[in-house]
Chain A
Amino acid sequence: MDNIQRIVQGVLRFIRQLFGDPQTAVGTTIVLLFLFLAFFGNALAPYGANETGDIPVSAAPSTQHPFGTDTLGRDVFSRVMIGTSSIFQKAGLGTLLAVLIGTVIGLYIGYQGGWIDEATSRVIDALLAMPALLLALVILGVIRNLSLEQGSLQFLLARNSVLLVIAVVYVPIVARVVRSSTLEIKTREFVQAARIRGESLGYILFREIFPSVVPTLVVEASLRFSYAIFLVAALGFLGIGANPPTPDWGLMVEEARGGNYNIAPWALNFPAAAIALLVVGVNLMSDGIKNIVQKSE
């Protein structure tokens, strides 16, 4: 019981600290705002993502269309709002998945050491030798050309391929960070005391070591999240992470560039600004988290 209470208290104190420093507070507010849009953007958007009808084409921003309309006559404001959910799904859930898997791997190999650690670390190195974007491009490039049966498991996975790819490219990074933190913590004497008591592997990993990894993990996760947003946006922009007419921010930028830019620059500027704003928010927040964690140590 006292544990749950302590965790709740810890989280509350953490949130209070997030709003304690102006920069971090701004960052957190931005992120929360977008998170809100991710959940309710669809319902709140004045128009549908691909609604055209009697909407004027390439209209400049106005009260009716705050962000203007694109060359096909779609409301940019609505598309940006609706697109929020997709970026949070892909980048956010992808990061979360990577953190979960990477933590388990990192804890295990860091604590066990020996050849398991040696072998896994080499594989991690090999994976990290390939830049995340490249790895993601290759995997997505292959997956989208597969002909899969509708409703099959593979089909389901392929539909969420960007999310999964984010997870895949970040698992090794998270695992490595958790591993090095585990290596340090496992030499602490309370871990030895647990071993002397004959505690099981699971108990030692998750009850004794894991809590001390959490601060590092939170910092790493927030950093990963901001890179994941980048990656998702870049994949969309390159036309590989999303297919038209999805209201994906990166894809919207790509569709509005070139000749279209001269006609409807707002169709490019607003989604680009949305990406930048979200990343600024995440970065401010992650800097703040890092400071809080460092201070508490």
Chain B
Amino acid sequence: MSVLKAENVGISYKVNKQWIGAVREFGITVEPGEIYGIVGESGSGKSTIARGLIRYLPSNGRTEPGSRIEFLGEDISAAPPAQMRNIWGARMNLVPQNPMAALNPSIRIGKQIAELIGAHTDLSREAIMDRVIDGLERVNLADPEKLVERFPHEISGGQQQRVMIAMALSTSPKLLVLDEPTTALDVTTEAVILELVRDLIKEDETAAVYVTHNLGVVAQICDRVIVMYAGEIMADAPVYDLFYKPLHPYTIGLLNAIPQPGQTKRDRPLQTIPGRPPSLADLPQGCVYAPRCPLAIEICQTKPPLEAPEAGRLVRCHRWKELADGSINPRTVYATDEDAIITDTLDEEREPLLELDSLYKYFPTRRTVQDIIKGEKPSPVRAVDGVNMTVNRGRTYGLVGESGSGKTTLSKVVIGLFEKTGGEMILMGVELPAALRGRDRETLADLQMIFQNPQNSLNPYLTVGQSIRRPLMKLGGLSRTEAETEVRRLLKAVNLREEYATRYPNELSGGEKQRVAIARAFASNPMLILADEPVSALDVSVQSAVLNLLARLQKDRDAAYIFISHDLSVVSYLADYIAVMYLGHLVEVGEAQELHQPPLHPYTEALVSAIPIPDPARREDPVLLNENIPSARDIPSGCRFHTRCPRKIGAICETDAPPWRADGEGHYIRCHIPIDELIEAQRKTLPEVEHS
């Protein structure tokens, strides 16, 4: 019997006294041991349906009459909370996105899990505690006896999420709903959690619904996938078919918008989906995707039915047959952004723009009682701890590393938001003053920044025009009228219409805001732009357009980028060179395209292998790292990575700082293992990359 069977489910929210349909005509059937992915962008309704399926909606939400949700053969579509309480926790559990918020901050971990078990069994206190400890062991948490006494804030995010998983599995539920459980985690931790979830679900024969925006995660973990858009199912298919035989233009768009491992901007530009998702309050008449669909024709003004091209597949598109029989080539559905094609090569040597020479940034910490007793100075946080790096004109440098590696601090020291503690920064042959105050107008104009969060990077009380005009006048020295003209030119350059100049940020979508932020950064004609995770807050379909835009502007304006990201596939797509940072210093520097082949620093190797590859045929076991990243106050001796390194060769790694090793072609690795041996060892483990 299916664990969960839903048909024709509709969910609405009451917003400003009006009911808005967030999900319409949803259906799903989940079998035991099956992981069913629901993938979509923000606003697609994926989280709403996840909560709707377990009948746990916010107070302004309701399940539409006519919806049918069957759980273990029992109709729960209208079950009152009192009835659901017998099911929740016992046979149906949720793993939420943010484990820190989902755990009660003032109750010990053991007690929180025990409460769940206690509510659904008659076990004795001791027996419950035993089960808690067993459960924590199952999710590979070390020292569970001690852990149960801890409070949530005392453990790391990855550990918290394992606690949530242990809790969710502690009553052996029949259905597990996972709502973006790894989105808040580092890629290395994500890999660990994904593997864990996959194994445990298969082992327990649990049925799982896995909600995510990340197609890589879908490919790695799901058996079947539903693609949602604007509250409707666009496609429903086994994971392999979805990736290899996509039948819906939207699915094709999503797949073409993400960089494949090894793909760089020099290979071909990413394809982009034009426009933005519709507002739920104002949906298009026919196909909801029609305004953005390159294949839209006359008939698309009527709503396409959900059809079954073959058993076990559903698609909602009038033209799926043409895609199925090959009369439409999925590769050419979306236009390629010709402007973003890069033709130059890295062979040409460019002159140095910015040189960092043993750059340091320490943050003082408060003295602890122990420090006072021992009479010691408190050890500072060594956020940036001796970085040497050269940035050449017109090139892109990707800076990668887990959170806490110091990459953001490094960029803020260069831009002047933090003042360096030591070392030198040379900009075009001249010493770059540490403080913003000390920098003259030209220097300020030369260095600009693009921030992560488009929500906050524009002042909500200034129009787009005002935001872009300010640097033009202040740094570019333009008059008011000259600046107005330039604003229009810049808006055009970032593919926004002129009338955006008079709009306020709250009238713009996330992607549009980020374009404005990019226009503002380019306003002063900078030589170097620091971009700190500029696309990580954006949806996939918007992300590729912004990446292409960055590539094109670089070509036109010859600006250099330092591009910071946790997403290695994005970095290796856009960057020319990569610098890998770990605990305040660099461990590897080289050309971006070398990132996917040996030799790699063992840390880089782990990062690369942790990327969830958007290809269900390639589910290699990643190199798993433990999550205990040492604190930057207390950096390990010898090689900083030795506490986590899977390739550690012995005591030397703990005592001696490793040397930089060069492969003779501009690729440098800081490790005790010689280059040849690294190549030899990694040839066996690293995934092959096909270059297109």
- 22 A–B contacts from the bound complex (CB under 8 Å): A2-B463, A2-B466, A188-B456, A189-B452, A189-B453, A189-B456, A190-B456, A192-B449, A193-B451, A193-B457, A195-B436, A196-B415, A196-B417, A196-B444, A196-B447, A197-B474, A198-B444, A199-B474, A208-B459, A211-B461, A212-B460, A212-B461
Docked complex: B439-469 residues within 8 A CB-CB of A: 439, 441, 444, 447-449, 451-453, 456-461, 463, 466-467
A197 pairs with B471, CB closer than 8 A = yes
B470 pairs with A190, CB closer than 8 A = no
A293 to chain B: closest CB distance in Å? Answer: 14
B571 to chain A: closest CB distance in Å? Answer: 21
Known contacts A211-B461, A212-B461; is A192 also within 8 Å of B417 by CB? Answer: yes
Main secondary structure of the interface of A (DSSP, over half): helix
A198 and B475 alpha carbons, distance in the complex (Å)? 9
| Nearest-CB residue, chain A, relative to B437 | A198
Instruction: Note all chain B residues with C-beta closer than 8 A to A208.
Output: 459
A122 to chain B: closest CB distance in Å? Answer: 17
Known contacts A2-B502, A189-B451, A192-B449; is A198 also within 8 Å of B459 by CB? Answer: no
Per-residue CB contact flags for chain A residues 193-225 toward chain B (1 = under 8 Å, else 0) read: 101111100000000100110000000000000
| Nearest-CB residue, chain B, relative to A199 | B474
Instruction: Note all chain A residues with C-beta closer than 8 A to B456.
Output: 188-190
Known contacts A2-B463, A2-B502, A192-B417; is A197 also within 8 Å of B444 by CB? Answer: yes
A196 pairs with B459, CB closer than 8 A = no
Instruction: Note all chain A residues with C-beta closer than 8 A to B453.
Output: 189
B417 pairs with A197, CB closer than 8 A = no
A192 and B457 alpha carbons, distance in the complex (Å)? 8
Instruction: Note all chain B residues with C-beta closer than 8 A to A199.
Output: 474
B459 pairs with A211, CB closer than 8 A = yes
Interface residues on B, range: 20 to 34
Docked complex: A41-86 residues within 8 A CB-CB of B: none
A103 to chain B: closest CB distance in Å? Answer: 16
B416 pairs with A197, CB closer than 8 A = no
B681 to chain A: closest CB distance in Å? Answer: 42
B425 to chain A: closest CB distance in Å? Answer: 15
A152 and B458 alpha carbons, distance in the complex (Å)? 50
**B520 at the A interface (CB under 8 A):** yes
| Nearest-CB residue, chain B, relative to A190 | B459
Q: A2-B502, A190-B458, A192-B451 are in contact. List 20 more A-B contacts (CB 8 A).
A: A2-B466, A189-B452, A189-B453, A190-B456, A190-B459, A192-B449, A193-B451, A193-B457, A195-B416, A195-B417, A196-B415, A196-B416, A196-B444, A197-B444, A197-B471, A197-B524, A198-B444, A199-B474, A208-B459, A212-B460
A204 to chain B: closest CB distance in Å? Answer: 11
Instruction: Note all chain A residues with C-beta closer than 8 A to B441.
Output: 198
Closest 4 pairs between A and B when the two form their complex, measured CB to CB: A211-B461, A189-B451, A189-B457, A190-B459
B501 to chain A: closest CB distance in Å? Answer: 10
Instruction: Note all chain B residues with C-beta closer than 8 A to A211.
Output: 459-461
A188 and B461 alpha carbons, distance in the complex (Å)? 13
Docked complex: B408-430 residues within 8 A CB-CB of A: 415-417
Docked complex: A1-29 residues within 8 A CB-CB of B: 2
B458 pairs with A196, CB closer than 8 A = no
Known contacts A189-B451, A189-B453, A192-B417; is A197 also within 8 Å of B459 by CB? Answer: no
Instruction: Note all chain B residues with C-beta closer than 8 A to A212.
Output: 459-461
A70 and B466 alpha carbons, distance in the complex (Å)? 62
Instruction: Note all chain B residues with C-beta closer than 8 A to A196.
Output: 415-417, 436, 444, 447-449
A218 and B436 alpha carbons, distance in the complex (Å)? 33
A196 and B523 alpha carbons, distance in the complex (Å)? 13
A residues neighboring B (CB under 8 Å): 2, 188-190, 192-193, 195-199, 208, 211-212
B510 to chain A: closest CB distance in Å? Answer: 14
B residues neighboring A (CB under 8 Å): 415-417, 436, 439, 441, 444, 447-449, 451-453, 456-461, 463, 466-467, 470-471, 474-475, 502, 517, 520, 524
B445 to chain A: closest CB distance in Å? Answer: 9
Most B CB contacts (10 A, CB to CB) among A188, A189, A208 go to A189
Instruction: Note all chain A residues with C-beta closer than 8 A to B524.
Output: 197
Instruction: Note all chain A residues with C-beta closer than 8 A to B447.
Output: 196
A199 and B473 alpha carbons, distance in the complex (Å)? 12
Known contacts A195-B436, A198-B436, A198-B474; is A190 also within 8 Å of B457 by CB? Answer: yes
Instruction: Note all chain A residues with C-beta closer than 8 A to B444.
Output: 196-198
A41 and B370 alpha carbons, distance in the complex (Å)? 68
| Nearest-CB residue, chain B, relative to A208 | B459
| Nearest-CB residue, chain A, relative to B502 | A2
A192 and B520 alpha carbons, distance in the complex (Å)? 13
A182 to chain B: closest CB distance in Å? Answer: 14
A166 and B460 alpha carbons, distance in the complex (Å)? 33
| Nearest-CB residue, chain A, relative to B521 | A193
Instruction: Note all chain B residues with C-beta closer than 8 A to A197.
Output: 444, 470-471, 474-475, 524
A216 to chain B: closest CB distance in Å? Answer: 14
Instruction: Note all chain B residues with C-beta closer than 8 A to A189.
Output: 451-453, 456-457
Instruction: Note all chain B residues with C-beta closer than 8 A to A193.
Output: 449, 451, 457, 517, 520
A199 and B524 alpha carbons, distance in the complex (Å)? 14
A38 to chain B: closest CB distance in Å? Answer: 32
A189 and B459 alpha carbons, distance in the complex (Å)? 9
A193 and B466 alpha carbons, distance in the complex (Å)? 14
A196 and B416 alpha carbons, distance in the complex (Å)? 7
A193 and B514 alpha carbons, distance in the complex (Å)? 13
| Nearest-CB residue, chain A, relative to B463 | A2
A197 and B457 alpha carbons, distance in the complex (Å)? 14
B484 to chain A: closest CB distance in Å? Answer: 12
A197 and B517 alpha carbons, distance in the complex (Å)? 13
| Nearest-CB residue, chain B, relative to A7 | B461
A197 and B470 alpha carbons, distance in the complex (Å)? 9
| Nearest-CB residue, chain A, relative to B440 | A198
A212 and B475 alpha carbons, distance in the complex (Å)? 25
A243 and B663 alpha carbons, distance in the complex (Å)? 91
Most B CB contacts (10 A, CB to CB) among A2, A195, A198, A211 go to A198
| Nearest-CB residue, chain A, relative to B506 | A296
B533 to chain A: closest CB distance in Å? Answer: 11
B439 pairs with A198, CB closer than 8 A = yes
A199 and B415 alpha carbons, distance in the complex (Å)? 14
A208 and B456 alpha carbons, distance in the complex (Å)? 12
B514 to chain A: closest CB distance in Å? Answer: 11
A190 and B471 alpha carbons, distance in the complex (Å)? 12
| Nearest-CB residue, chain B, relative to A188 | B456
B4 to chain A: closest CB distance in Å? Answer: 37
Instruction: Note all chain A residues with C-beta closer than 8 A to B458.
Output: 190
A258 and B416 alpha carbons, distance in the complex (Å)? 69
A173 and B89 alpha carbons, distance in the complex (Å)? 47
A192 and B475 alpha carbons, distance in the complex (Å)? 16
| Nearest-CB residue, chain A, relative to B441 | A198
Instruction: Note all chain A residues with C-beta closer than 8 A to B415.
Output: 196
A212 and B506 alpha carbons, distance in the complex (Å)? 13
| Nearest-CB residue, chain A, relative to B475 | A197
A145 and B428 alpha carbons, distance in the complex (Å)? 70
A106 and B23 alpha carbons, distance in the complex (Å)? 46
| Nearest-CB residue, chain A, relative to B453 | A189
A212 and B417 alpha carbons, distance in the complex (Å)? 21
Instruction: Note all chain B residues with C-beta closer than 8 A to A188.
Output: 456
Instruction: Note all chain A residues with C-beta closer than 8 A to B471.
Output: 197
A193 and B519 alpha carbons, distance in the complex (Å)? 13
A198 and B476 alpha carbons, distance in the complex (Å)? 12
A55 to chain B: closest CB distance in Å? Answer: 56
Instruction: Note all chain A residues with C-beta closer than 8 A to B460.
Output: 211-212
A212 and B456 alpha carbons, distance in the complex (Å)? 12
A2 and B461 alpha carbons, distance in the complex (Å)? 11
A215 to chain B: closest CB distance in Å? Answer: 11
A1 to chain B: closest CB distance in Å? Answer: 11
A2 and B517 alpha carbons, distance in the complex (Å)? 21
A105 and B444 alpha carbons, distance in the complex (Å)? 29
B363 to chain A: closest CB distance in Å? Answer: 14
| Nearest-CB residue, chain B, relative to A214 | B461
A181 to chain B: closest CB distance in Å? Answer: 14
B245 to chain A: closest CB distance in Å? Answer: 42
